[in-house]
Amino acid sequence: MDPNQTPQPEGKVLLVDKPLEWTSFDVVKKIRNNSVYKKVGHAGTLDPLATGLLIICTGKKTKEIESYMGLEKEYDGTFVLGKTTPSVDLETPFDGEFPVDHISQENLEKTRSSFLGEQEQIPPHFSAVKVDGQRAYQLARKGEKSDLKVRKVIIREFDLDLSSFPEIWFRIICSKGTYIRSIVRDFGEALQSGAYLRSLRRTRIGDYRLDDALTVQETIERLKNEDP
């Protein structure tokens, strides 16, 4: 090693509770700017309007990011039947209204069951998927639709609470690469209606749980008080 070169800190794996309206990169940037670590990365994006568990790797631990990205994910949240938005969440205004009176508990249960197991899924147009070198959401914000490829995902568990219908609470366990907004979009269409995601929280990645995560500020304070 060059004697004038600063050694790279060994690094840490951090569990962070991402705040609402922050991008995943906002969290990375905040930690990088407030710690000794110049190498900081996250293991799996959360949308700005989602909250919850984000795995952050620093220093030499950034080489392990891929191993975390492949882990199973668990989420909970709410979606609402009868209305749609272009982004399938509240980032964009409502663009459609659909009937819900025809939807029975039996319809809902049958549809829920159909989403279990291996599924073919198209990512939302408002997503970070790259299309010809551009992010799909960049094209979508300009009013351009991308040709997004079908991907295979696995839904292992999908639970619903129908007590506040047409708002539905859900919990889902799924494979890497699963878009919850795509599930919400497809769920509404399967019921001959529409749907949008009102709230989303990631509660688990593999064996790592949100209960063990710190806020961004708590993470920064802990890093200041620990050796790298």
Rounded Cα distance, 108 and 167, in Å = 12
Mean pLDDT of all residues belonging to the chain:
90
Q: Domains of the chain, with CATH numbers? A: 13-70+207-224 (3.30.2350.10), 73-205 (3.30.2350.10)
How does pLDDT run across 76-98, given as a tens digit for each residue? 999 999 999 999 999 999 999 99
pLDDT digit string, tens, across residues 131-156: 666 676 666 676 767 767 888 999 99
Q: Among candidates 56, 55, 46, which has minimal Cα distance to 20? A: 46
Residue 85 CB neighbour total at 10 angstroms: 20
Q: What is the pLDDT of residue 5?
A: 44
Q: Which stretch of 43-57, 89-103, 119-133 has the lowest confidence by average pLDDT?
A: 119-133
- Report field, pTM of the whole predicted structure over 0.75: yes
- Spatial contact of 23 and 222, defined as CB atoms under 8 Å apart: no
pLDDT at 163: 96
Give pLDDT tens digits for 124-135.
Answer: 776 667 766 667
Whether residue 40 contacts residue 58, with contact meaning beta carbons closer than 8 Å, is answered with yes
Q: Do residues 85 and 91 lie in contact, with contact meaning Cβ atoms separated by under 8 Å?
A: yes
Residue 114 has pLDDT above 90, yes or no: yes
Catalytic positions, written as ranges: 47
Angle between helices 24-33 and 216-224 (to 10 degrees): 20
CB 18 within 8 A of CB 27: yes
Strands 167-174 and 130-131: unpaired
Helix, strand, or coil here: 50? strand
